[in-house]
Amino acid sequence: MPRLRLPRNLPALLLLAVVFALAGLPVLSMLLGALRSGPGGSFGTTALARVFLTTAYLKPLMATLEIAFHVALLGTLFGVALAWIMSRIRPPGRGLLEVGIMLPIFISPFVGAIGWITLGQPNTGMINVALRALGLPTINILSYGGAMFIMALFLVPYGYTLIRHSLDRLNPELEEAAAVCGAHTRGTILGVIVPMLWPSLLSAFVILFVLSAEMFSIPGLLLVPHGYSNLSYAIYAKTTHWPINQAEASAIGIVLLVMTLIGMAIYAYAVRVQERFISIGPKSPRAVMRSGPWSLPALIGCLIVLIYVIISSVLPVLALTLRALLPYFSGDFALSDLSLVNLRHTMADQLAITALGNSIIVTAGSTVLLMMIAFLVALGRVRKPSALSLVTWLVASIPIAVPGVLIGLGMIWLYIRTPIYATLAIIFLVMLARFLPILVRMFETGLIQVGRELDQAAAICGASDLTITLQIRIPLLAGTMRSAAAVVGTQIFNELTASALVFTSTSSVLPVVIFNYMFDGNYSQASALALVQIVILMAGLAFLWLAGTALPAMRSRMQTGRA
């Protein structure tokens, strides 16, 4: 009797199918969309012709390049200064400063912008009120310079991380060798450090460039009223504002995608070059502390980092909180003015309540799903190399070069005529597509660090693949999983650029509602809801942290007790 034989690699094929549906299809649909007249419509080249053969989008293109260039330059400068201080001057309290530098990632640039608008808007901005009282000239954050400043401020952590990583791994003996050869500080920096560090500076610049080119929230809020629209915003507008034209959005998307692809190629090149200059091994000396922790340079360094933390996190969150707690905002206030009116008002808005619930469900649910899929993709890539696992990994990596706004657009093309569209499932799909690559990479690094011999030792002992995963891999990856949950959970909770394109009243999430409040000029309610978002996020992170430190401590105490 003929027997149906399942192929040996059936699970791997299934994984590839899932990954393709999640990460490959939306991008493909987005690209194909440029050739159509609309969802379900006929094929044609009208949209392509308008984008590529007319000058209609020349201005947004130039604006995108200009904004991205300025933000990247400013952000890289901030980043290299902070990285240099933290790595080489080594100020006191580095642990806390490190957390402070990373805070903007958790606050999100858009929420940071809300805070900064309250601080720096022309008349009633809190800083301006203070400046005017002191008889000093005032600032205007609702300007090109203001937008650059906010965007750079909140993207700094991404550049900082890259440069810091390289600085830490440049063997300090190379600098000492320059000194022994007679070079002074300036000679060492120009002759040794800069030539070894330029790939990192380039990669930081490119990443900041790409991130700011993708962003439409801050440009939309601060620059569009001045007649500046970047490509991202144009795509957002073409899919959400009348007259809607998704085909044209897709055609613009191709321009944006080419830009980010070039960026990623340069980035990959720079990282490869940097690897050649990494001269530190596990046993090499760490960067030397040239001066004591309480010396003058160390204190000045500490002060500079503190100033960054204050302007990027402390001030905007403080401003946001005050605005959320003040019924009427005039830039000036007395403590007796504080009330919960705005919060109560916001919590009475059905849309906000739905979004709050949705955000929590989507964040928890898609983080768990992503961890499972990403773990399997990374496991295949690191532990079971084959053509199939490589293809799966490549497909899963596609979204890394695709701006969020284009993922959102792809989702529209793919699902708008299906019942999925008006449900929360569409937001789940957005998150799974957008954040799969980051998580795959985190698990890849984790698995490589764990070392394959620990797996193999278990196989020798007779353990099946499932047992190895449950008893060896997952416990050893616990740290990676916790930080992955923190990083990706934060990104999902704060995700705006893709969700803003596909949300409906039932599938709205917090950042989208906040963004729409801002667009309607409802700053008080936006601040109140942003405050709620920050508080929930911090509570979630605190929970993860507790789960990571308190639980193992408790468990080990119980074990010692038993022994």
Partner 1 sequence: MSSIRLANIRKQYGPVFAVADVSLDVEPGQFVTLLGPSGSGKTTTLRMIAGLEQPSSGTLMISERLVFDERELVRTSERNLGMVFQSYAVWPHKTVFGNVAFPLQQRGVAQREQAGRVQEMLEMVELGGLAQRYPSELSGGQQQRVALARAMVARPEVILFDEPLSNLDAQLRESMRNLLLSLHERFHFTAVYVTHDQTEAMVLSDRVHVMNKGRIVQSGSPRELYEQPADLFVAEFIGQANVLPIMETRSNGAEVLVAGGHWLTLPLSAARNLGSLVIRPHSVRLVPTETRESDNLCKALVLRVIYLGDRAQYELDLGSGSFLQMDLVARRNLPQAGDNILVHLPPEDCITV
Binding site for partner 1 (CB under 8 A): 451, 453-454, 456-464, 467, 471-472, 475-476, 478, 559-560, 563
Q: 338 near 325, Cβ under 8 Å?
A: yes
Q: CB neighbours (10 Å) of residue 447?
A: 21
Q: 436 near 370, Cβ under 8 Å?
A: yes
Q: Give 361 or 476: the residue with its C-beta nearer to partner 1.
A: 476
CB of 381 to partner 1, least distance (A): 18
CB of 458 to partner 1, least distance (A): 7
- Rounded to the nearest 5°, which phi and psi values hold at 427? -70, -40
* Torsion over CA: 520, 523, 528, 534 (sign): positive
CB of 450 to partner 1, least distance (A): 9
CB of 496 to partner 1, least distance (A): 38
Q: Distance between CA atoms of 357 and 506, rounded to whole angstroms?
A: 11
DSSP for 344-363 reads: HHHHT-HHHHHHHHHHHHHH
Q: Give 62 or 454: the residue with its C-beta nearer to partner 1.
A: 454
CB of 171 to partner 1, least distance (A): 24
16 burial type by CB count under 10 A (0-12 exposed, 13-18 middle, 19+ buried):
buried
Token representation of residue 324: 């959320």
CB of 561 to partner 1, least distance (A): 11
CB of 560 to partner 1, least distance (A): 7
Token representation of residue 309: 């933390």
Q: Give 186 or 562: the residue with its C-beta nearer to partner 1.
A: 562
Helix (H, G, I), strand (E, B) or coil at 258: helix
Q: Distance between CA atoms of 493 and 342, rounded to whole angstroms?
A: 22
Q: Give 276 or 453: the residue with its C-beta nearer to partner 1.
A: 453
Q: Distance between CA atoms of 547 and 541, rounded to whole angstroms?
A: 10
CB of 466 to partner 1, least distance (A): 11
Q: Distance between CA atoms of 94 and 375, rounded to whole angstroms?
A: 32
Question: Helices 246-277 and 46-53: crossing angle, nearest 10°?
Answer: 60
Among 91, 72, 73, CA closest to 82: 91
Q: Distance between CA atoms of 142 and 124, rounded to whole angstroms?
A: 12
Q: Give 344 or 384: the residue with its C-beta nearer to partner 1.
A: 384
CB of 472 to partner 1, least distance (A): 6
Q: Give 419 or 453: the residue with its C-beta nearer to partner 1.
A: 453
DSSP for 23-68 reads: IIHHHHHHHHHTTBSSTT--B-SHHHHHHHHSSTTHHHHHHHHHHH
Q: Distance between CA atoms of 160 and 483, rounded to whole angstroms?
A: 18
Q: Give 93 or 385: the residue with its C-beta nearer to partner 1.
A: 385
Q: 114 near 530, Cβ under 8 Å?
A: yes
Token representation of residue 335: 């403590």
Token representation of residue 228: 């500046």
Q: Give 364 or 476: the residue with its C-beta nearer to partner 1.
A: 476
CB of 147 to partner 1, least distance (A): 48
Q: Distance between CA atoms of 316 and 107, rounded to whole angstroms?
A: 10
Q: Distance between CA atoms of 25 and 407, rounded to whole angstroms?
A: 10
Q: Give 460 or 539: the residue with its C-beta nearer to partner 1.
A: 460
- Rounded to the nearest 5°, which phi and psi values hold at 241? -105, 150
CB of 468 to partner 1, least distance (A): 8
Q: Give 180 or 460: the residue with its C-beta nearer to partner 1.
A: 460
378 burial type by CB count under 10 A (0-12 exposed, 13-18 middle, 19+ buried):
buried
Q: Give 339 or 483: the residue with its C-beta nearer to partner 1.
A: 483
Q: Give 335 or 563: the residue with its C-beta nearer to partner 1.
A: 563
CB of 107 to partner 1, least distance (A): 34
Token representation of residue 239: 């899919």
Q: Give 292 or 479: the residue with its C-beta nearer to partner 1.
A: 479
Question: Does the N-terminal peptide bond of residue 26 adopt cis geometry, omega within 30 degrees of 0?
Answer: no
In the chain, the N- to C-terminal Cα span, in Å, equals 58
CB of 559 to partner 1, least distance (A): 7
Token representation of residue 214: 């993708």
CB of 462 to partner 1, least distance (A): 4
Q: Give 300 or 478: the residue with its C-beta nearer to partner 1.
A: 478
